[in-house]
Structure 1
Amino acid sequence: MTASAIPADDPKRALVHVTPDDARLPHLSIAGGTYTILVGGGDTAGRYCLIDMRVPPGGGPPPHRHDFEEMFSVLEGAVEFTFREETTVARAGETVNIPANAPHFFRNTFDQPARLLCMCTPAGQDDYFLRVGDPVDGPTAPPPSLSADEQEVRKQRAAALAAEYRTELLVP
C-alpha cells in the first residue's frame, strides 16, 4: 500500500451547516452594516472564514489593507469597490477578489441595501469583527444608536486592534 499525500481525516472536526438568520450566530453591527459570521476560523482550522454582510445605502468600511486574501460575492444589490484608488461597481451575481496587501474599501453608494458574502483566507477577520463590532439580535436588526463619543470609541478600538489582526487602517 502506498502512502497518501493527503492527511488522514480529522474526526474531531465537524460538518458546519448554518442559516444566516440563526440567532446563535454572531450578528454584529460594523461599518454601518450588519455582519453575520457564518463560518469562523474555529470551524475551519483557521483556513478561512465566511461572513454574510448586509450593507445599507452609505455603509462600508474605511480604506484599509491587510495581509490576507478577501473575496466578495454580491448576492443582492450593488456596491462600489475602490481598489488601489480605482473604483468599480460589483452587482448581484458578481465576485471580486482583493489580493493581500492591496489598499481597498467598498461603499454602498446606491439607494438599495446590498448583501455580500465575504471569504477571508486565512481566517482572523472574524475574530477582529467580534472584538470591534456591536452585537445585534439578527441579520436584519437595526444597528445600535450611538452617540458621537461612542462612535469615536468604536473607531479607536478598531484602530488599536488592527495590527493584531494583520490590518492597516488607511485613515488619519
Structure 2
Amino acid sequence: MANKPYIIQRSPFVVPTTDGKIIKEHFGQATDGNSKLSIAHMKAPAGWSEPFQTPEFDEYTFIISGKKQFIIDGETVILSAGESIKIDKNTRVQYSNPYTEPCEYLAVCLPAFSMDLVHRED
C-alpha cells in the first residue's frame, strides 16, 4: 500500500522548558526532522518573557487567546486574540506576556525553528 499524501499529527513533540511556557511542536526539526518549516502550539503563562533574539528565520504568530507583547527593533507591539504578525528573519525581537492572563498562540517558522538559528542574547 502506498504512503498517504498527508500526515496527521496527534503526538507533537513537547519541548522541555524551565519558564512555565508550554511548547508543542507539531511539525519541525524536533518532530519530523523538517528543517524547512516548523509549526508549534504554545501557551505562555502570565508574567512570562524570554531574552531578546535575532533569528535566522521568518516567524509568523497567530494569537488564539490572551495577549502577547513583542519588542521589535525597539518598537513595542501588542497583539490580542484573532490577530497575527510576521516578523522578518534577522530582526531583533523579544517576546513576552506581561499580562495577568495566559496567552495561547501558534508560531510558524520558515525555515524551521532551531536553537542554532535563534541567536538568543544572554
Superposition TM-score tier, normalisation by shorter sequence: 0.7 to 0.9
Structural mapping, 1:44-123, within 5 Å: 45-123=34-112
Instruction: Answer yes or no: is the 8 Å Cα contact 2:55–2:91 preserved in 1.
Output: yes
Secondary structure of the corresponding residue to residue 169 of structure 1:
coil
> Counterpart amino acid of 1:28?
V
Are the structure 2 counterparts of residues 100 and 116 from structure 1 closer, same or farther at C-alpha, using a change threshold of 3 Å? same
Count of aligned residue pairs for this structure pair? 119
Q: What CA deviation, in whole Å up to 9, does each residue of 1:135-168 have, x standing for no partner?
A: xxxxxxxxxxxxxxxxxxxxxxxxxxx4xx1232
Are the structure 2 counterparts of residues 58 and 29 from structure 1 closer, same or farther at C-alpha, using a change threshold of 3 Å? farther
More helix by share: 1
Find the partner of 2:7 among 9, 16, 30: 16
More strand by share: 2
- Percent of pairs with identical residues: 20
Question: Are 1:25 and 2:12 counterparts?
Answer: yes
Q: State how far apart, in whole Å, the 2-side matches of 1:65 and 1:12 are.
A: 38
Q: State how far apart, in whole Å, the 1-side matches of 2:42 and 2:108 are.
A: 11
Unaligned regions of 5+ residues in structure 2, if any? none
TM-score normalized by the length of structure 2: 0.84
Instruction: Answer yes or no: is the 8 Å Cα contact 2:49–2:98 preserved in 1.
Output: no
The Cα shift of 1:62 comes to 1.0
Secondary structure of the corresponding residue to residue 66 of structure 1:
coil
Q: What CA deviation, in whole Å up to 9, does each residue of 1:29-81 have, x standing for no partner?
A: 43430100011246585321101110000113211111110111001110111
Question: Are 1:166 and 2:117 counterparts?
Answer: yes
What RMSD in Å do the two structures reach over aligned CA positions?
2.2
Q: State how far apart, in whole Å, the 1-side matches of 2:33 and 2:16 are.
A: 24
> Counterpart amino acid of 2:82?
G
Q: What CA deviation, in whole Å up to 9, does each residue of 1:1-31 have, x standing for no partner?
A: xxxxxxxxxx76851223xxx4x32112434
Runs of 4 or more consecutive aligned structure 1 residues displaced over 4 Å after TM superposition: 11-14, 41-45
When Rg is computed on C-alpha atoms for both structures, the one with the higher figure is: 1
Unaligned regions of 5+ residues in structure 1, if any? 1-10, 129-161
The Cα shift of 1:170 comes to 2.3
